[in-house]
Each structure stands twice: as C-alpha cells, then as structure tokens.
Amino acid sequence: MQASQQTKRSGRFRVLESQPINQDGFVTEWPEMGFVAMASPNDPKPSIRVESGKVVELDGKSREQFDMLDQFIADYTLDSTIAEKVMAMDGLDIARKLVDIHVSRSEMIELARGMTPAKVVEVLNHMNVVEMMMALQKMRARKTPSNQCHVTNVRDNPVLMAADAAEAGLRGFDEQETTVGIVRYAPFNALALLIGSQTARGGILTQDALEEATELRLAMLGLTSYAETISIYGTESVFIDGDDTPWSKSFLASAYASRGAKMRFTSGTGSEVQMAGAEGKSMLYLEVRCVMMAKGAGVQGLQNGSISCIGVPAAVPSGLRAVLAENLTTTMFDLEVASGNDQTFSHSPIRRSAKMLCQMLPGTDFIFSGYSAVPNSDNMFAGSNMDTTDMDDYLVLQRDMMVDGGLRPVDEESVIQIRHEAASALQAVFDELGFPAITDEEVESATYANSSEDMPLRNVVDDLKAAERILNEGITGLDVALALEKRGYREIAERIFNMLKQRVAGDYLHTSAIIDKNNIVRSAVNDENDYSGPGTGYRLSPERWEEIKNIRQAISPQDFD
C-alpha cells in the first residue's frame, strides 16, 4: 500500500459514520465511577442475617454499618420472617420461576419480599432481554396496559395546552403530565390540562410536575389528581444532596394520599452516576435499592426506566437491558410502573423503536411515562422518545403486532372538533374568573395548530399576575366546574366534579389505578393481571382489535380497479 492510499477512507465506513446511530454517545465501562449497567465488581454479595425478628446483616454489612437506605429497606421493605429462607434459594432457580408460566405472579411477589437488593440483582443477571419481557408480561400489576403523555409548550400558552390535552385524551392517553417554562405559569398549566383532558373524556388523570410544595398545593386545590416527580436515589450521598431522606419522602407521599391524590416516586438507572455519587456500584444495584425504598414507603408505584438520565445507561454495554430490568424489578415488588420512554436518548429511529418495544410488547401499567403528545420542540421535559410525528408509526406498530399500546386511531375531523371545544371551554372559564381574555383568534389558532409557533402571542405579564390569583385566592377545581356549568359546558363540568368525588372515595389510590370513561377505577384490585401463559391475561377484545386495525390509511382492496 502506498502512503497516499493509507489516508484514503473506505466508502462503506464513510457512509456508516454518517448514519444517525453514530451521533449517539457510547462509552466503555468504568466500574469505579459507576459506568457499568448490571454487574459491577464492587456490587455487594447477597447475604442476610436475622436476629429476634430484626435484620442485623444485609448484603455483607452489619447493622452498625448500614447507611440510611440499608436501614429503611431492612426495617420497612424486607419481610424478616421469610428473608433467610428466600435468600437460601438459588438465584438461577428464582429467575426461572419469573419466566415460568406455571409459577404465579403472587408467588413471585411473595419471594421478592424476602430478597435483598444484591439478591434481586443476582437473579436479574441470569435473564436475557426476552426472558425479562416474558416476566414483565406476567408481573405487571394491572391486567390492561395503558399509557401516559406529556402536554407542554415552550410558551406555556394555556389555550394551546387545553387543545393539545383534549387531542391527547381522544388519542387514548389515560394520564397526562405537564410542566412549565416559567414556574409562575404553573397554575394556568394545571387549569388548562384539567379542562382540556376532561373535554376529551371523564376520568383522565393529570399532573403538573413542579417543585414539591407547589405541586402538592395544586393537588390540594383539586386542579391536578396525581404526582410522580418525587425523586429518590440509590446512594446516601446523592439522597442527602437533594436535602432528603427516605423518611421525608415517605412523609410527603402520605401528604398526597391524605388529600386523595395519587402518588408515584421517580428514580432510574444512571442518576447516581450523573450526580457523581454511584460509589462504584452498578446502575441496576442502586436502582433496585430505590425500588425497595419505594415499596417500604408505601407509595402506589414508581416512574422508572432511567427517565431523564437515559443517556447514561444507554451509553454503556447492556444499558437498555438494565432499564428493562429496573421496570421488571418494580413489578416484582407489586408496585405500579410507569416505565420511562419519556426522554429522547438516540438519534437512531431503529434504536428508539427497539428500546420502546421492550415495554410495549409485554405491556406495562404505563408504557410511556410521557409520550410527547406535542412536537418535541414544544416538550418542556427535554423531548420524549416519541412525539406527535411518530403517532402514525406507533398506531401501525400496534396493528402490525396486534398489541395494545394504549392508543387509538383518530380522524382529522374529530381532532379539530375536540380541540375547538377545549379551547372554547377554557376561553369561557378565563372570562368567568376574570382572567386575561382569550380571543376568538387564539381559539381558532389552537384548534388547527401543530405547535406553539402557530399561536398568537399573549401578554405574559398579565397572564402571570392572573395565574398567581389561583394560588392566592384558593381557586379550586369546584370553582372551575361551576364556571363551566354557568357558561353552558355542563358535560365537562360534571366530569371535573366527578374527578373531585374520586378524591373522596380514594379508590384510585390503589396500585396501578386509572379511571375509565364511565368514571370506574381500574386497578390491580379489580383488574389484576392473571397472566399464566397463552389464553390468559390481557387479550384484545374484538371491539378493541377493530379499533386498532382500522387506521385511517387503510383502504379496501375492493376499491382497486
């Protein structure tokens, strides 16, 4: 080879390097800093010792050496009456039970109560991705899978938000989450999401992801119905860095429950690495500690799947397998799981779809904990794994695989109609409560808009002053319902009033609860997952299959000449 030829590039490699996948970031493992997905040489070995009903040794540490997570898990999560027996079982045998259709979900939940974090990691390391998906199909709490979405926009425009929430409800999302660009807009965002979602159908749960005090206040006013952005972490140093302890998080969870509001914690692989506090442990080991802490705290469930840290596990070998493993772990502890897919992590559409299918095919309580029901350019959670431009792809995947991903095909006329109704309802409420006027031009724009770029500008200063009135004057969900009823929006008013009644009944505080269009709570109590092999568990009803397969693009072969 001549010198001039040594610098000549392979055409094949030049093309490969221009592909989207090569815009992603990949790193080699670095266990000392936590850059390892599921098995660090620094992970502890499983062990347990119980004396007089108290755990005195956990994963190689004596009780005197426990950090606060060890103590919390030992005292509130582990069942000391069965722990030594379960820990004596072979990890491979437990892994096989997870996959075995002849071993029930309830038996596996009983076994999980006796496992330490290191034991759970040992079990999961025996499983490949397909086996984990098989186990997840059996272990999720609610039989019927569901989905959650993000509804935000970069201008915090309430009219657009109400219209987007209505369309998202029409498309099938059972939970909707918003957040803010400007924190003082938070009450308006909660209000717009509430009215928009209930315009589509009654029973859709909504949340406004904020700092914890304001988020709780909006829930107490009845403007939101659940929360999930209450973060927990897998090492003591990172937990303390957030000015929290497992006990303070548990107290906050009980505050939500006491006011009839649903509550999940949030955690995920990679967060401790991102905060430089992984202590050399694997991402999965630290996340299993979070799952077990959530169980001990008594919350309904967990939003995990790496969430905003997804770029960290996605960069290391076996990282997306670890993300699936953390979802599975959550179900093993009988917790509701909102399984991530809520932040963009890859430039490759193949990779994004492959990651999502790990949750979509087996089904979870919420396959996305934030499908972007708006264009990612308007997503204030930094963009989701999929957004509105991927809606048709998602619907076709449901149809191709004959799988229920929680969404339904919609037609353009219905979308336009529901968006207009939601924007008009918000316009009436703003007028009734004396907020800055929403013009007919804004209603028209929101009806047909794709993004915030299609909306007229509002007076931000006047909006912020009015939004603060909601908190200062204590404007409640009941006030909103009364305003809607007075202005002729009786059906939406009744739906909001029904959501307030749900808070008194408290049924939707059960694990994996959603509320259907008839205002009936569906949870692990009355819709328990009973999968035990072919012909059992969730199956598409004939009506649901008709809905899924009739996408708008499909034409009759009889129409061809």
Tell me the catalytic residues: 148, 150, 177, 228, 303, 342, 369
CA angle 346, 347, 348 (to 5 degrees): 90
Beta bridge partners of 30: 35
Long-range contacts of 517-522 (CB under 8 A, 24+ apart): 517/201, 517/202, 517/203, 518/202, 518/203, 519/202, 519/203, 520/203, 522/142, 522/144
Q: Are strands 175-178 and 148-150 parallel, antiparallel or unpaired?
A: parallel
Tokens of 81: 């009456």
Half-sphere exposure of 284 (CA within 13 A, CB side): 31
Residue recorded with tokens 């670890």: 322
Q: Give the span between the Cα atoms of 549 and 561, in whole angstroms.
A: 23
- Torsion angle, alpha carbons of 317, 322, 323, 324, to 10: 120
* Residue 376 CB neighbour total at 10 angstroms: 19
- Torsion angle, alpha carbons of 513, 293, 338, 264, to 10: 50
Measured over the CA atoms of residue 88, residue 91, residue 94 and residue 96, the dihedral's sign is: negative
Q: What is the DSSP string of 291-353?
A: HHHHHHHT-SEEE-SSGGGTTTGGGSTTHHHHHHHHHHHHHHTT-EEE----S---S-HHHHH
Residues with Cβ within 8 Å of residue 368, at least 6 apart in sequence: 147, 148, 149, 338, 339, 340, 341, 342, 356, 359, 384, 385, 386
Phi, psi torsion values for 141, nearest 5 degrees:
-75, -50
Q: Give the span between the Cα atoms of 513 and 498, in whole angstroms.
A: 16
Contact of 196 with 161, CB cutoff 8 Å: yes
